[in-house]
Amino acid sequence: MQVLVKNSFAQEMDLKGIHESFWDPNVFYVDETFSISDLIRLSDPLGFSPFYFLDPRIAFLISQLHKGGELFARGLGPVGTVATMGAVQKVMHTEDPQKVSKVIEEYLPNSYVQNLSNYDQVIVFGENKVDETLWKKLRVGGFYLIGSIQGSIEHPKEAFEAFGKLWPIGIPTEFGWRFQDSLSGLNEFEFMKIKKLD
């Protein structure tokens, strides 16, 4: 299952068969009336692609980023990595640079990829513990977002503050949230967002 994530650099579209997600008004599920040919027909042939097609778990994780600042991204894939660039100022990532460059051409007016030594935010998908090296490079007051599909997330030993909210599905964990809903595409997904305190 994939969701559509609105690209802020593309034209607005009025599509049938898409429904807003419960976590972000810019993320949409599609139903049986959605037509990819309608999407292509309504798209500006000279403009940017109007939507990113993403795994719902990656879309959810990206939607929890704060706007602006410098970001380190890992495990999001080339399209997910480029989707973060609409929210932040600079991104350092671990994806294949050639693949990311091709995706950037489809979605963005310019590149936000940088070589960074410290970060305001870290976002990782498919991991279940905070990477100590990345934690050290995260600035005090910065956020570490982690999405696990491998079980419970281990929190760092250092001082942090957990950030979250109540969602209409799933259950709270000690410092995050666990989703088990296959209809939403958030099955086997645990999320944690923490702020580095010192």
What is residue 44's predicted lDDT score, i.e. its pLDDT? Answer: 67
Write down the CATH superfamily of domain 56-196.
Answer: Vaccinia Virus protein VP39 (3.40.50.150)
What burial class does residue 121 get, using C-beta atoms within 10 Å of its C-beta: 0-12 exposed, 13-18 middle, 19+ buried? buried
Flag residues of the chain having pLDDT under 50: none
Distance CA 153, CA 147 (A): 8
Q: At what angle do helices 56-63 and 77-84 cross, to 10 degrees?
A: 20
CA atoms within 13 A on the CB side of 120: 12
- This prediction has a pTM of 0.92
Domain ranges of the chain: 56-196
- The pairing of beta strand 189-196 with beta strand 176-179: antiparallel
What is residue 152's predicted lDDT score, i.e. its pLDDT? Answer: 92
What is residue 198's predicted lDDT score, i.e. its pLDDT? Answer: 85
* Cβ neighbours around 119 below 10 Å, total: 23
The sheet carrying 27-30 orders its strands as: 18-20, 27-30, 3-6, 51-54
130, 146 contact by CB (below 8 A): yes
What is residue 45's predicted lDDT score, i.e. its pLDDT? Answer: 66
Distance CA 160, CA 156 (A): 8
